[in-house]
Structure 1
Amino acid sequence: MSTDLGSGLTSLFVVAVVAAVTPVLVGLLGRLRVPQVVVLILGGVVVGPHVLDLADPNSIQLLANVGLGFLFLLAGYELDLTVFRQSAGRLAVSGWLVTITLACVIVGGLAALGVVKAFVPVALGLTTTALGTLLPILRDNNMLRGSFGPYILAAGAVGEFLPVVAIAIFLGSHGRFVGLISIAAMGLLALLLSVLPRLGRGGRIARILAEGEHATSQTTLRWTVALLLLLLVVAADFGLDVVLGAFVAGLVLRRWAPGDLDHKLDAVGYGFFIPIFFVSSGMGLDVESIVDAPGRLFLFFLLLLAVRGLPTLLVYRTALPRTRRFELVFIVSTALPLLVALSQIGLATGHMLPENAAALVGAGVLSVLVFPAIAVALHHRLARQGEEGDRSG
């Protein structure tokens, strides 16, 4: 066995142990309601090169990228595009446009003061929402049901998809025009893939795939993984971030995948690949930079709330009651995976200072720890008030 393979297997084993221990720790913490994502990232920090040095993030980078892909595939799969023809979708786009305007003004000012090197990656980071990260938390607390669910999904999807498009245009490796052409090509490919199942419906191949769906061949799951990897490869070849390919894969799957595929995707994604991504993110977190300049972390943390969250109070004032709007403020302010991706892009291109990259990711970790917990508490409080009102009535 080669040294590189042995090192990679050792790192993967350590990551697998962190992933296996995480739900146990979350269960022991009980009422604190700490999201698993936070424990996975903190576990990555502990076993990574900056603390115990038990695992090398570079040796599992490919699996971590696939985990990132699965995270956004599931986010795209959860999104029903018809929501954008409804009020929830239009309000979500309006809210994001207000957010990007605020982000450009505020981060542009920080760039003029020399706090940030180039404002584009940081400004885009402040407009993101970690829908993929939030989904398990939202599902576990029944927050996607009822009339409020579409507002959450629409705002979260816009906070993931539009920043990805902006990244492809403004931070792509081949220039803005090529980035626009690449996005159009991805959209065309997605449209073609969406109609393929209709062409083969009722044929022999369709019957073979249906018969193997629950057998050992697991035909639909295998084709799903192949689709995800295809679109990740296409996105990478176009010079786009893998997130775009994964999100598009999820949108395509919603059109032609069977109804119970989501359970299989959850098992493969959350059971293996996605925890690797989060643990790997923790392993790569530059803890020393955060300790040396903690003020940057808290600045970005507050800006996530102010720039991404607070406009919600104004944009949704006629659509949602005040408690729901505050709940949505903390949901849309939660960001992490795209912050990791933006930091990596910013460092690779020289557009971002290392201390800002670490602080931005650290702010994302803190947002995942704090903001969903507040949103869940507000949700349960509103639910209890409803139950008390029903009993009194």
Structure 2
Amino acid sequence: MGSELGLGLTSLFVVALVAAVTPVLVGLFGRLRIPQVVVLILGGVVVGPEVLDLADPESIELLANVGLGFLFLLAGYELDLAVFGQRAGKLAIVGWLVTVALSIGVVGLLAAAGLVHAFVPVALGLTTTALGTLLPILRDNNMLQGSFGSYVLAAGAVGEFLPVVAIAIFLGSNGRFVGLISLVAVGVLALLLSVAPRLGRGGRIARILSEGKDATSQTTLRWTVALLLLLLVVANDFGLDVVLGAFVAGVVLRRWAPGDVESLDHKLDAVGYGFFIPIFFVSSGMGLDLKSILEAPGRLLLFFLLLLVVRGLPTLLVYRSALPWSRRFELVFVVSTALPLLVALSEIGLETGKMLPENAAALVGAGVLSVLVYPAIAVAIDRRLDRTLGAPDAPDETRP
């Protein structure tokens, strides 16, 4: 027991040190504009068992899962459901359906060639977008502002939420019907949780919660964490992915939190980005199977390019009447970024014995590479557009 605790504390310290050093490194090499997410993942690779072996990913697995939960909670919290009734949401859904059709065709060809055994996990993996992973990068570079920001959030949310729903239905451990029923149950629970606080608004309990929101009791933050963990537990017990419970928790929280709780955003950022989320990213780097990747680098590059072709390129066609060419090109690289769901899908594929180990490693590696490369290209395009649009008499391309 003592040795396990010592190993866990040592691993946690190493991970916390990587997280603390990361912003310093990013600041020192500021001209390269490297996202912190990238440094955290690479730091995890360095301290992990594949390189220096300074930390054990299994000893911090629970904290890493909570970090993943916070990542998707903030993604759900950022999403305004009203956007799906608007043009941005409708185009995002159309774009994802086009991606699904394209993914089925491409993965079918790979399966026919004997390169893929786990058809469904790989096909779903190519339809994902890592909105939670992208949020820190998009926020730091002010890429969520204006009308273009609504298209980014809608496309990212659809590329994150709908694949999670598909995972619950088609890859759930209890079968498709039970998975569908479980989804409905989680949705009903989320609806009840979003309505319940409003029933007691104006009463004594509501007053106590409001008065303690900025005191040592931190009432709103504590209830937010409890809400997140509750939905994570429910999703886990129903055999659903952690991401679904966390994403739903974020959507619920947006409706659940009173409108005057302005400081809640900062508190969630502090707890999430300050502690739990970095642990998830470092842990992802620690768990990367470098040996399998080095043995079959071609598979990694194939999946890396397929993320761009299958998920990204349809954007150029779907958004042709809504966004100018330059913004569509930028959106291509935003939506092609994937990671957390690729990790989950790889684990499911390995657990069922249907996915080849080299494909699982290559899929996760492609996700890591997409986080390294695609957001950097999108940021570079955005900065170039900002310089162009900031010039006198330059057309405003941010308006569709």
* TM-score normalised by the chain length of structure 2: 0.97
What is the rounded CA distance, in whole Å, between the counterparts of 1:23 and 1:236 in structure 2?
33
1:148 partner SS: helix
What amino acid is aligned across from residue 210 of structure 1 in structure 2?
Answer: S
Of the three residues 340, 344, 348, the one matched with 2:347 is 344
Which residue pairs with 2:263 in the alignment?
Answer: 260
Q: CA deviation at 1:141?
A: 1.1
Contact 1:121 1:351 in 2 (8 A): no
Contact 2:389 2:395 in 1 (8 A): no
Which residue pairs with 1:134 in the alignment?
Answer: 134
Which residue pairs with 1:212 in the alignment?
Answer: 212
Contact 1:130 1:332 in 2 (8 A): yes
What amino acid is aligned across from residue 354 of structure 2 in structure 1?
Answer: H
What is the rounded CA distance, in whole Å, between the counterparts of 2:159 and 2:9 in structure 1?
36
Query: Structure 1: which 5+ runs fail to align?
Result: none
Which residue pairs with 1:310 in the alignment?
Answer: 313
Q: CA deviation at 1:260?
A: 2.4
Q: CA deviation at 1:346?
A: 1.3
Which residue pairs with 1:295 in the alignment?
Answer: 298
Q: CA deviation at 1:84?
A: 0.3
Which residue pairs with 1:41 in the alignment?
Answer: 41
What is the rounded CA distance, in whole Å, between the counterparts of 1:98 and 1:204 in structure 2?
51
What is the rounded CA distance, in whole Å, between the counterparts of 1:322 and 1:74 in structure 2?
30
What is the rounded CA distance, in whole Å, between the counterparts of 2:295 and 2:54 in structure 1?
24
Q: Out of 381-390 and 230-239, give the one that drifted further.
A: 381-390
Which residue pairs with 1:145 in the alignment?
Answer: 145
Alignment of 1:65-144 (within 5 A): 65-144=65-144
Q: CA deviation at 1:61?
A: 0.4
Of the three residues 359, 362, 377, the one matched with 1:374 is 377
Q: CA deviation at 1:113?
A: 1.1
Cα pair distance change 1:175/1:392, threshold 3 Å: closer
Alignment of 1:176-215 (within 5 A): 176-215=176-215
What is the rounded CA distance, in whole Å, between the counterparts of 1:333 and 1:31 in structure 2?
24
User: 1:309-356, CA deviations, whole angstroms, 9 ceiling, x for partnerless residues?
Assistant: 000000000010000000100000011111111111111121211111
User: 1:80-128, CA deviations, whole angstroms, 9 ceiling, x for partnerless residues?
Assistant: 0000000000000000000011111101111111111111111111100
User: 1:20-39, CA deviations, whole angstroms, 9 ceiling, x for partnerless residues?
Assistant: 11111111221211111111
Q: CA deviation at 1:251?
A: 0.3
Cα pair distance change 1:90/1:391, threshold 3 Å: closer
What is the rounded CA distance, in whole Å, between the counterparts of 2:263 and 2:323 in structure 1?
32
Q: CA deviation at 1:386?
A: 1.1
Of the three residues 264, 286, 299, the one matched with 1:283 is 286
Contact 2:193 2:256 in 1 (8 A): no
Q: CA deviation at 1:391?
A: 7.9
User: 1:268-293, CA deviations, whole angstroms, 9 ceiling, x for partnerless residues?
Assistant: 00100011111111111100011111
Which residue pairs with 1:228 in the alignment?
Answer: 228
Q: CA deviation at 1:220?
A: 0.3
What is the rounded CA distance, in whole Å, between the counterparts of 1:227 and 1:318 in structure 2?
40
* TM-score normalised by the chain length of structure 1: 0.98
* RMSD (CA atoms): 1.2
What is the rounded CA distance, in whole Å, between the counterparts of 2:270 and 2:357 in structure 1?
35
1:147 partner SS: helix
2:392 partner SS: helix
- Superposition misfits of 4+ residues, deviation over 4 angstroms: none
1:281 partner SS: helix
Query: Structure 2: which 5+ runs fail to align?
Result: none
Which residue pairs with 1:388 in the alignment?
Answer: 391
What is the rounded CA distance, in whole Å, between the counterparts of 2:285 and 2:386 in structure 1?
34
Which residue pairs with 1:246 in the alignment?
Answer: 246
Q: CA deviation at 1:259?
A: 2.9
Q: CA deviation at 1:266?
A: 0.6
Contact 1:69 1:246 in 2 (8 A): yes
Identity of aligned residues (%): 82
Contact 1:22 1:39 in 2 (8 A): yes
Q: CA deviation at 1:389?
A: 3.1
Q: CA deviation at 1:151?
A: 0.3
What amino acid is aligned across from residue 36 of structure 1 in structure 2?
Answer: Q
